[in-house]
């Protein structure tokens, strides 16, 4: 079920209550995790990121309940890591010609993982696409924000930054906004994530 972020932007991701390890044996995720995917429905319809592969079929099925998949104009891949891109193969079976906007390094990453020559559209910092209603998506590369393919996407007018892993933590919660969850849990997981995932790079 989608959850409204703001205006025509909805969260369509997945909460993983059972995840215990993700980044190897040294980094526990004992509070689970959340895979964030966003659906933008302006004059153009845009999907930003997907979810981890074990939830791919459910993700596509649930997304199809919210929107005709054929009406997705653009897919944005902010990051190639599997918790962001894992449902791409299942999704792209339905919309194989839909353009995927991502960095040059993300093309290498996604091709290397999924062995598919999808309709990749390479973007760099400052590039933008018009999504209608006077709004644009602006791309900002964040090289080595823990992978070399990373970027963020900024939506003008609504002033929403789809920040990838920049402010990440592994935390399973039904709450959509950070001021609605237990702040001790939030900052504890954010500090652990920053120390183990972002600072090494």
- Output the tens digit of pLDDT for each of the chain's 201 residues: 799 999 999 999 999 998 877 766 667 788 888 999 999 999 999 999 999 999 999 999 999 999 999 999 999 999 999 999 999 999 999 999 999 999 999 999 999 999 999 999 999 999 999 999 999 999 999 998 888 999 999 999 999 999 998 988 888 899 999 899 899 988 988 888 888 778 876
**CB-based contacts of 10, cutoff 8 Å, min separation 6:** 2, 3, 4, 38, 39, 41, 66
Q: What is the pLDDT of residues 124-163, one digit of tens each?
A: 999 999 999 999 999 999 998 888 999 999 999 999 999 9
pTM of this prediction?
0.94
Residue-range domain boundaries for the chain? 3-198
Pick the CATH number of 3-198 from 3.40.190.170, 3.10.129.10, 3.40.1380.20, 3.60.15.10: 3.60.15.10
Let me know: does 192 contact 185? Beta carbons within 8 Å. no
């Amino acid at each position: 079920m989608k959850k409204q972020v703001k205006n025509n932007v909805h969260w369509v991701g997945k909460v993983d209550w059972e995840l215990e390890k993700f980044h190897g044996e040294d980094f526990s995720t004992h509070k689970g995790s959340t895979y964030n995917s966003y659906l933008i429905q302006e004059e153009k319809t845009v999907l930003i990121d997907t979810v981890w592969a074990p939830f791919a079929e459910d993700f596509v099925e649930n997304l199809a309940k919210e929107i005709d998949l054929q009406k997705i104009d653009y897919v944005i891949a902010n990051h190639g890591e599997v918790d962001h891109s894992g449902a791409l193969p299942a999704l792209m079976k339905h919309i194989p010609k839909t353009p995927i906007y991502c960095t040059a390094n993300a093309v290498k990453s996604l091709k290397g993982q999924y062995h598919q020559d999808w309709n990749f559209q390479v973007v760099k910092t400052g590039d933008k696409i018009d999504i209608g209603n006077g709004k644009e998506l602006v791309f900002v590369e964040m090289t080595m924000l823990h992978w070399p393919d990373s970027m963020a996407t900024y939506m003008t007018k609504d002033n929403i930054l789809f920040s990838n892993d920049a402010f990440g933590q592994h935390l399973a919660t039904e709450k959509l906004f950070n001021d609605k969850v237990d702040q001790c849990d939030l900052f504890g997981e954010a500090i652990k994530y920053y120390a183990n995932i972002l600072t090494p790079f």
